[in-house]
Structure 1
């Protein structure tokens, strides 16, 4: 597609955003915030982005003494939320909370008219978590090794669900096929909820899902966990091994919820916003609440580090999807 070079250009520019607008800082003033704040959540009300945005809003309100309003913006895989931020003034009073897939995955899935990586810049990682491979309890396998053996003995007979075709939950199944020499068939859904319903109903035996939505069902015994994609065992599922532990390091992956801004925002304002977000993440009450909903608190990676990880993830996901001839909608 002709847009891809522009997207890659946007990704390479993520790390440079802090310096681009430094000269404009004095003209616009670097005091932040000067009025109430608005956080756009890239997702539906009650979804993960909305919940994390409200936790952040509570802390920012306490820090700044300003009113902080959260506006959920679902639709078009986060594109509508990004567009909403792009229309806001570049003064740092409109922020975005959304997952890293806005830049690393969505451009591979949806035919876009805008360059996501050029429209938004990550300032802070608010929350993180991996994916977990889960199954219907009726599946005759208790471990990943048993599952691989079963799949090899029954080629083409096992399906796996993803919450959306082209996302990490799809890519991880393809990577397991390649690494283990098996033939799981993909079934794409429009969201975790319908996929999990079919998983529990026995209509699809396997799924790669986010921990936040699967953990309550795992703890209730309604689905079984095989492995997690995080580099180390998750404190949320300490009894579940990592894919790396089990001999599949290529399936190591972490999803994260970030705080994003307009890239042209003056550098001093970006620094102030980032500092406020890091202080918010450090609050025990916020960290505890993140754990309750299936997330760990984000790591203090710099915007440059976040930009580099986005570029690497974008290229990795693209390579896997191209290997199966995947085409965006």
Structure 2
């Protein structure tokens, strides 16, 4: 073989090794200090519950403390800004719902392109939303409620935990599918919205299972249907929208672990490997279920990104139909 060709190939191989060597070295030493989970939500909210469930087993797996750091506000933008301003070495990760990419850009004018700025590492947990009502609403099931809503067009309000999110969009889809006229009232989070539902100021809401479940069990609100494709074990008597004849309302929200795309690939792979190992524990899955979540599926990063794009397009289409404009 030509000696010059061999020499050129050797140089190319050496250059390739040098280009990945820093990332490999970092992956081998990572984590070299505590890992911080920036949580896109306040204490007690869904993202916080999930982050605290995984933090201890993830710490054992990584051999370093894993610290939960809540950064609520601005529809997740404060938490995202914290992640983007942190060193891109994998020691700062984000825990947040898929809506950070699929919904929030439709709601708030962000200075970032979310599909380029953050990248899912793993799906931690998933759950549908539940359609809940104040106990005084004169209906015992969805069929009775829709009949009541048709008899009172434009007189019934429903809350969402934030305008433009799935909590808002599902109400719009129910209006279209059932031929009713629920009026939307947007809130800044589940807690204030649920407080008003319990007080009958806004009698209806589409909410996450984790935050509504304790109130449903306590009889402070009642549930008509869930948006998940199958009934959830925590509410076995509550039917799905699909089985009630409204497949348009099939929807799942998932909580993810996120990083930035420029964190070295070997570090991202190590984070994902450790996270999936933690999620495979049956005891953790049981704790998730008690909280109101199913354990996340081990979907590939490519599959997660494809799902985000599909959800982004779906939500955008619904919001465009009502001329919704971002703030």
**TM-score for both structures, normalised by structure 1:** 0.90
Q: Which has the higher contact order (CA 8 A, sep 6+)?
A: 1
Aligned residue runs from structure 1 range 137-152, under 5 A: 137-152=135-150
Question: Which stretch shifts more, 56-65 or 309-318?
Answer: 56-65
Change (3 A) 1:86 1:25: farther
How big is the alpha-carbon RMSD for the aligned residues of Structure 1 and Structure 2? 1.6
| Counterpart for residue 7 of structure 1 | none
| Counterpart for residue 261 of structure 1 | 259
Change (3 A) 1:22 1:307: farther
User: Is contact 1:41-1:73 (8 Å) kept?
Assistant: yes
| Counterpart for residue 299 of structure 1 | 297
Question: Which stretch shifts more, 264-273 or 233-242?
Answer: 264-273
| Counterpart for residue 310 of structure 1 | 308
Unpaired runs of at least 5, structure 1: 1-20
Change (3 A) 1:160 1:23: farther
Pairwise CA distance, 1:235 = 1.2
Deviations along 1:102-133, whole A, 9 cap, x unmatched? Answer: 00111111111111221110011101111000
Unpaired runs of at least 5, structure 2: 1-15
| Counterpart for residue 88 of structure 1 | 86
User: Is contact 1:82-1:116 (8 Å) kept?
Assistant: no
| Counterpart for residue 222 of structure 2 | 224
Structure-2 separation of matches of 1:245 and 1:103: 29
Structure-2 separation of matches of 1:51 and 1:225: 22
Deviations along 1:234-253, whole A, 9 cap, x unmatched? Answer: 11211111000011111000
Aligned with 1:197 (options 184, 195, 198): 195
| Counterpart for residue 119 of structure 1 | 117
Aligned residue runs from structure 1 range 54-93, under 5 A: 54-93=52-91
User: Is contact 2:45-2:211 (8 Å) kept?
Assistant: no
Pairwise CA distance, 1:65 = 1.6
**Count, aligned residues:** 309
Deviations along 1:136-194, whole A, 9 cap, x unmatched? Answer: 11111111111111111221111111111111111000000001111111111121112
Structure-1 separation of matches of 2:246 and 2:259: 35
Question: Which stretch shifts more, 147-156 or 130-139?
Answer: 147-156
Which secondary structure state, in structure 1, belongs to the residue aligned with residue 43 of structure 2?
coil
| Counterpart for residue 51 of structure 2 | 53
Structure-2 separation of matches of 1:301 and 1:57: 20
| Counterpart for residue 26 of structure 1 | 21
Change (3 A) 1:273 1:25: farther
| Counterpart for residue 5 of structure 1 | none
Pairwise CA distance, 1:24 = 4.7
| Counterpart for residue 289 of structure 1 | 287
Aligned residue runs from structure 1 range 219-258, under 5 A: 219-258=217-256
User: Is contact 2:46-2:211 (8 Å) kept?
Assistant: no
Pairwise CA distance, 1:325 = 1.0
Change (3 A) 1:169 1:23: farther
- 2:210 is the counterpart of 1:212: yes
Structure-2 separation of matches of 1:115 and 1:46: 28
User: Is contact 1:22-1:268 (8 Å) kept?
Assistant: no
Structure-2 separation of matches of 1:40 and 1:23: 32
Pairwise CA distance, 1:284 = 2.7
Which secondary structure state, in structure 1, belongs to the residue aligned with residue 41 of structure 2?
coil
**TM-score for both structures, normalised by structure 2:** 0.91
Larger radius of gyration: 2
Pairwise CA distance, 1:64 = 2.0
Structure-2 separation of matches of 1:222 and 1:250: 28
User: Is contact 1:120-1:263 (8 Å) kept?
Assistant: yes
Which secondary structure state, in structure 2, belongs to the residue aligned with residue 260 of structure 1?
strand
